[in-house]
Structure 1
C-alpha cells in the first residue's frame, strides 16, 4: 500500500516561503496532479516527497511510515524528469536496465523486466539505439520505461511532457494515462499545463505562491472553482471574469447588464465559461452588447471576444458565424450560468 500523507508540510529558505502548511492524503493508486504557474511550489512539494529537498516543518509519510529522514533511494519512489536524464553512452536497453543493476536486483530477471517495460512504452524495436539517435518523444518513453522497470510504490513525474512538441504531448499524455491504469501505482504528476491536469488526474491540487488554492476532481475544479485564481487558471479559454457592481439584483458593468443576481448590493466579480454563453439570435436580448474585439476560427467553433473594462470576454459561436471586428454583438449571459466571486478576496460566493 502506497498511501502518501503530507502533514503540515512547510518549506522555507530563510524568509522565503516555498510551500506553506500543505496538508493532503494521497490515496493508494491515485493519480494526483500538482498544478500551478512557475514558482508556485509544486515541484518543491514533489522534491520533498522524493527526498531531494528537506522538509522545514511537518511530516511526510509513505505507506504509513514517516520518511522525513530517509534517503531518496530508501523511499521506494521512482522519478521521471523533464530533462529525460538518460545516459548518452548507453543504449536504450542499458538505460532501462540501469536501476536494476544499481539496486542489486537478481540479474537473471533483468531481461524479462526490461522487455516488459519496453513493451509498455512501445520501445522494443529501439533497444539497440543510443539516446542521440532517438526523437524527443522516444527519449521521454525511455525515461518512463526506466521508472517502470523498478516497480516502485510511487511514481513522481516532474513536467515530463514540457520538452515535447504539441502533437507528441498529446500522444505521450495518452500513453501515460494508459500506463497509470495498467500499472495501478500511486502517481504524483507536476505540471503547469491545465489540459494535462484535466485529462490525467483523479484529483488536482491547484497551487499559488506555495499555498494550496483548491483540491478536487477535474470536474469539481472546472465546474466550481474556489476563487478567481482557479477560475482564471483552469479552462481553455479561461473563465471570463467581469468586475462590476450589484444593485437591486442587477449586475452592472461596461456594456453589461445581467438580471437575477440575488446577492447584496456592492462590488462583485462575475464569471462564466465561453461555452455556456451564446450569440443572441432571432430577436433575443443579450446581457452584453459590445463591439467585437477579435474573432478566431477554431475549426469546430468561432471564438468571439469583446472588451469589458480591461478584460477580454470570450464566447463560442457556431463555426459558420461571421462578423466584422468593430461590429456590435449581443451575447446572452443568463445568471443561471454565472459564477460569483467576492471583489476583495476573490473567494467563491454561494454553493
Structure 2
C-alpha cells in the first residue's frame, strides 16, 4: 500500500511562496495529475514528495510514515523526468538495469526484471542499442522502464511527454495509461497539458500561483469548474466566458441576452462550452454576431464570434460553411450556463463536488 498524505505543505524561498498549504490524501494505486501553467507550484510539490526539495511547513507521509527528513533514496519512489537523463555510454539494457545495480539487488534477478520492464514498454528489440540510436519516444520509454524495474511504491512523472511531437505524445500517453493499469502503483503526474490530465487521471489537482484551485475527477472539473481560472484552463477550446450583468433572471452583454437564469442581480461572468451551444436555425439566437473566424476540425466546424473583448466559440456540423463576417445566431439554453462572480471569479450557485476518495486507476 502507498497512500500519500500531504498535510498543509508549503514551500517558500524568502518572501516568494512556491506552494501554499497544500492538503490532500492520495489513495493507494491512484493516478493523480497535478495540472497548471508554468510556475504554479506543481513540479515543486512533486519535488517535495520525492525529497528533492525541503518542505518549509507541513508534513508528507507515505504509508503513514512522515518522510520529511528522509533522503530521496529512502522514500521508495521512482521519478521520470522531462529530460530522459539516460547514460549515453550504456546500451538500453544497462540503462534499465542501472537502478538494480545501485540498490544492490540480487544480480541473479536482473535479467528477468529488465526483460519484464522492457516488454511492458515494447523495447525488447532495442536492448542492445545506445540512446543516441533511439527516437525521442523510445528514449522516454527507456526512462519509464528504468523506473518500472525498481518496483517502487510510488511513481512520480514530471512532464514526461513534453519533449515529444504530437503523434508520439498520443501513443506514449496511451502506453502510460495502460502501464498504470498493469502496475497498479500510486502515481503522481505533473503536466501543463489539460488533455493529458483529462485522459490519464483518476483525479486532477488544478493549481495556480502555488494554490490549489480545485480537486476532482476529470469529469467533475470539466462539468463544474470552481472558478473562471479552472473554466478557462480545462477544455479544448476552453469554456466561453462573457462578462455581463444579471437583472431579474436575465443575463445581458453586448450582442447577448439569455433568460431563465437563477442568480442574484449584479455583474457576473457567464460561461458555456462550445459543444453545448448550437447555431440558431433562424439566425436569431441568444447571441447574435458576425463570424470572426471559422475552423474546419474534421468532425465539426468551430465558429468563433467576438463579444466585446471575448472570443466565443460554438461547434457546428462538419459541413457548415459560411464567410467571415456573416451574421449568425447562437442558442445558449440556460441549463448549459455556468455563472461566476465577476470580481472573484468564484462559481455562483451550487458548489462543485470535491472528490475525497477516488476509484482506483484503470
Q: Deviations over 1:253-289 (max 9, x none)?
A: 01100011222211010000000001111x3741000
Residue 355 of structure 2: aligned partner = none
Q: Secondary structure in 1 aligned to 2:294? A: strand
What is the total number of aligned residue pairs between the two structures?
A: 350
Residue 147 of structure 2: aligned partner = 147
Residue 126 of structure 1: aligned partner = 126
Give the superposition deviation at 1:177: 0.1
Residue 305 of structure 1: aligned partner = 304
Residue 342 of structure 2: aligned partner = 343
Question: Is 1:168 aligned to 2:199, yes or no?
Answer: no
Structure 2 gap segments, 5+ residues each: 351-362
Give the superposition deviation at 1:246: 0.8
Give me the whole-angstrom Cα distance separating, in 1, the residues matched to 2:335 and 2:28. 38
Give the superposition deviation at 1:247: 1.5
Residue 76 of structure 1: aligned partner = 76
Residue 245 of structure 2: aligned partner = 245
Residue 357 of structure 2: aligned partner = none
Residue 6 of structure 2: aligned partner = 6
Give me the whole-angstrom Cα distance separating, in 2, the residues matched to 1:82 and 1:265. 48
The alignment's C-alpha RMSD in Å is: 0.6
Question: Is 1:102 aligned to 2:102, yes or no?
Answer: yes
Give me the whole-angstrom Cα distance separating, in 2, the residues matched to 1:340 and 1:248. 15
Give the superposition deviation at 1:310: 0.5
Q: Deviations over 1:116-151 (max 9, x none)?
A: 000000000000000000000000000000000000
Give me the whole-angstrom Cα distance separating, in 1, the residues matched to 2:55 and 2:277. 46
Question: RCO higher in 1 or 2 (8 Å CA, sep ≥ 6)?
Answer: 2
Q: Secondary structure in 1 aligned to 2:324? A: coil
Misfit runs of 4+, over 2 Å: none
Residue 329 of structure 1: aligned partner = 328
Q: Deviations over 1:276-319 (max 9, x none)?
A: 001111x3741000011000000000000000111100000000
Residue 183 of structure 1: aligned partner = 183
**Contact 2:35-2:190 within 8 A present in 1 as well:** yes
Question: Is 1:86 aligned to 2:53, yes or no?
Answer: no
Give me the whole-angstrom Cα distance separating, in 1, the residues matched to 2:329 and 2:132. 55
Give the superposition deviation at 1:331: 0.4
Q: Secondary structure in 2 aligned to 1:292? A: strand
Give me the whole-angstrom Cα distance separating, in 1, the residues matched to 2:261 and 2:349. 11
Residue 358 of structure 2: aligned partner = none
Residue 356 of structure 2: aligned partner = none
Give me the whole-angstrom Cα distance separating, in 1, the residues matched to 2:158 and 2:283. 49
Q: Secondary structure in 2 aligned to 1:348? A: coil
Give me the whole-angstrom Cα distance separating, in 2, the residues matched to 1:264 and 1:70. 52
- Give the alignment's TM-score, normalised by structure 2: 0.96
Q: Secondary structure in 2 aligned to 1:322? A: coil
Q: Deviations over 1:59-109 (max 9, x none)?
A: 000011000000000000000000000000000000000000000000000
Give me the whole-angstrom Cα distance separating, in 2, the residues matched to 1:264 and 1:115. 63
Give me the whole-angstrom Cα distance separating, in 2, the residues matched to 1:263 and 1:24. 32
Give me the whole-angstrom Cα distance separating, in 2, the residues matched to 1:183 and 1:168. 22
Q: Secondary structure in 2 aligned to 1:33? A: strand
- Give the alignment's TM-score, normalised by structure 1: 0.99
Give me the whole-angstrom Cα distance separating, in 1, the residues matched to 2:295 and 2:284. 24
Question: Is 1:280 aligned to 2:280, yes or no?
Answer: yes
Q: Deviations over 1:143-195 (max 9, x none)?
A: 00000000000000000000000000000000000000000000000000000
Give the superposition deviation at 1:321: 0.4
Residue 51 of structure 1: aligned partner = 51
